[in-house]
Amino acid sequence: MSKSENEEFFQQRQQLIISAAKVCFSQSGFHGASMADISRESGLGAGQIYRYFESKELIVSETIKSIAVNWRLFLQNNLPRQSSTADIINTESGFWQDWPYQDRCLLLEMYSEASRNQAVRAVLAQEEQLLITELETSLCQQSPGVSDQQCNERIQFLLMLVDGVACRAFGDNTLDHREKGRINGILSHHLFG
């Protein structure tokens, strides 16, 4: 096997382990899932897993990086297409269709971990800054009469809204649809109007 084939195989195995870890972490949390769970889900023995990751903490860290990057890319692709908040606050809308249930669970777990782990907070901050930079380019061009400060404030508010919906609304089906519509009208007017 050539060096590049070896590296590719190594990366494929790491991705297999991270994918298995995501399944386990979405079901039991970062601290509740065991190496035995990850081993079972990946189909690899524990010894094989340790060839690719020195510890469970490293698997958690790499999984968090993967989740954070996927969340950034999801928002980077979907937020610039919005002209109102209706699809953002409606968890059944097309806006959310590419963010599966497992990823919703992982996002909540990641934010929870960030509250107690500085390294996770740093990863999230880095990905958020990349997202903001990209959104400033795309969203501010869509609103040429808006100052840079106003654009940045709108982006910050949109991110709070998306994070709030991702963390709260998926589990709450009791929200009044008329009230959601009223709130959407207010938000859309101020953010996009």
pLDDT surpasses 70 at 36: yes
172 to each of 28, 40, 44, 165, how far by Cα in Å? 21, 33, 37, 10
pLDDT tens digit sequence for 103-154: 888 998 999 999 999 999 999 999 999 999 999 988 878 877 888 898 888 8
**Mean pLDDT confidence for 66-86:** 91
Q: What percent of the chain has a predicted confidence (pLDDT) above 70? A: 88
At 93, is the pLDDT very low, low, confident or very high (cuts 50, 70, 90)?
confident
In this prediction, residue 174 carries a pLDDT of 61
pLDDT tens digit sequence for 179-193: 666 665 666 666 665
In this prediction, residue 82 carries a pLDDT of 84
pLDDT surpasses 80 at 173: no
pTM for the complete prediction? 0.84
